[in-house]
Amino acid sequence: MRKSTLLLAIISLLSIPLVIIGQSNSNFTIQGKIDTVPNAEYRIIYKNNEKVIHDSLQLSADRTFTFSGNIGEPTRINFIIDNDFNPRLVKDQIVYSFWVSPGDRLDFHGLTGWLSGPRENLNIDKNKYKLNGSALDKSAIAYNENRRAVYLANKDQKNTTELGDSILSKFIQSNPNNFYSLDLLNRSFPSLKGQPALVNTLYNALSNELKNSYTGKLLNKKIMAHPHLIIGKDLPTFELSNAEGDLVNLEDFRGKYVLVDFWASWCGPCREEFPYLRSLYNEYKSKKFEILAVSIDESRADWLSAIDNDKLSWTNVLDTGGFSGELYQVFGLKGVPDNFLLDKEGKIVARNLRGSQLKTVLDKLILQNK
């Protein structure tokens, strides 16, 4: 009986509307109304390929608005307000979040009721809206509703991971032109990367159009890089711009011991490490030790200011975009600080070393190669 329920639910997943990309018009427009106070303001965040777009809108006196933007592929758009009501959340609050595609002309109605529960246990529902014109948003809602139904119908099944993988696989293989298939696989990659055969099967099931999109190419880079991000493997090469705007390639450092250090100007623990790194760099640079510092700052000005204030004399490059930066995603980082120590051939010797640990490993590495 359980298998029949699962099969029926998966079949309903396959009836989700077709969504493709490749619209020639990259502009989208949202017209709408939000059930809140007149003239309320919202911050808007969405992605245009690799760029994170920060914008804003203000409702009129009758609580209506029109918002437009340009995107190269489908993306989620987030309506955000200041968080002065949820003590469990450090950052500001996403109130509404939905899909928009190039060429969309959407009719949006933001409803009340997205916040419920007592102050000490608030519940946020980002789906309290009505939206017309977004086939992709209908896909996402239908998939998640059906997925929940499958889990409820099979709540006694012990291996929920296998169940989830089955739902995901069925959807992607049956919807190769749907951008939501690509989005699901991209977001699920961290949990699936231990199953390379399954990942490759699902990626290859996608249409060429999806594979050639920005997200499709980014996912392919993740898949290709993952086996090489372990001790003993060559760290995948990359190329980023320095403070002068010149491109710096990891290959430029072959023949040297290199610490590839990921950081950001807003990261306290990262900058607390710099005095020690300065001392270590001055002691070992004559022994062919180099630091390639990769900032994930979204603000170039903040990055340059931190370099100057902290007197970072080694090579500095910028992977702009914060946690959405391309290299940050390709390398599967989970935060900063993080680093890779490489030998002269570019092989990973150690990862995420701090303080005296770095000096100990570096001493041993240099001694072995005398």
Report the chain (370 residues): mean pLDDT per 10 consecutive residues: 45 49 72 97 94 95 97 96 75 90 96 82 84 95 91 80 89 96 96 94 97 96 96 97 96 97 97 96 96 96 97 96 92 96 97 94 88
Domain boundary among the residues 164, 194, 228 is at 228
Q: Are residues 173 and 244 in the same domain?
A: no
pLDDT at 18: 52
Domain boundary among the residues 228, 243, 269 is at 228
- Domain hosting 216: range is 139-228
pLDDT at 2: 45
pLDDT at 271: 97
Q: Is 12 contained in some domain?
A: no
Domain boundary among the residues 132, 148, 167 is at 132
Q: Are residues 191 and 301 in the same domain?
A: no
Q: Are residues 263 and 276 in the same domain?
A: yes
pLDDT at 4: 41
Q: Are residues 255 and 301 in the same domain?
A: yes
Secondary structure string (H, E, C) spanning the chain: CHHHHHHHHHHHHCCCCCCCCCCCCCEEEEEEEECCCCCCEEEEEEEECCEEEEEEEECCCCCEEEEEEECCCCEEEEEEECCCCCCCCCCCEEEEEEEECCCCEEEEEECCCCEECCHHHCEECCCCEEEECCHHHHHHHHHHHHHHHHHHHCCCCCCHHHHHHHHHHHHHHHCCCCHHHHHHHHHHHHHHCCCHHHHHHHHHHCCHHHHCCHHHHHHHHHHHHHHHCCCCCECCCCEEEECCCCEEEHHHHCCCEEEEEEECCCCHHHHHCHHHHHHHHHHHHHHCEEEEEEECCCCHHHHHHHHHHCCCCCEEEECCCHHHCHHHHHCCCCCCCEEEEECCCCEEEEECCCCHHHHHHHHHHHHHCC
Please name every residue paired with 93 in a beta bridge, in sequence order, or none if there are none.
81
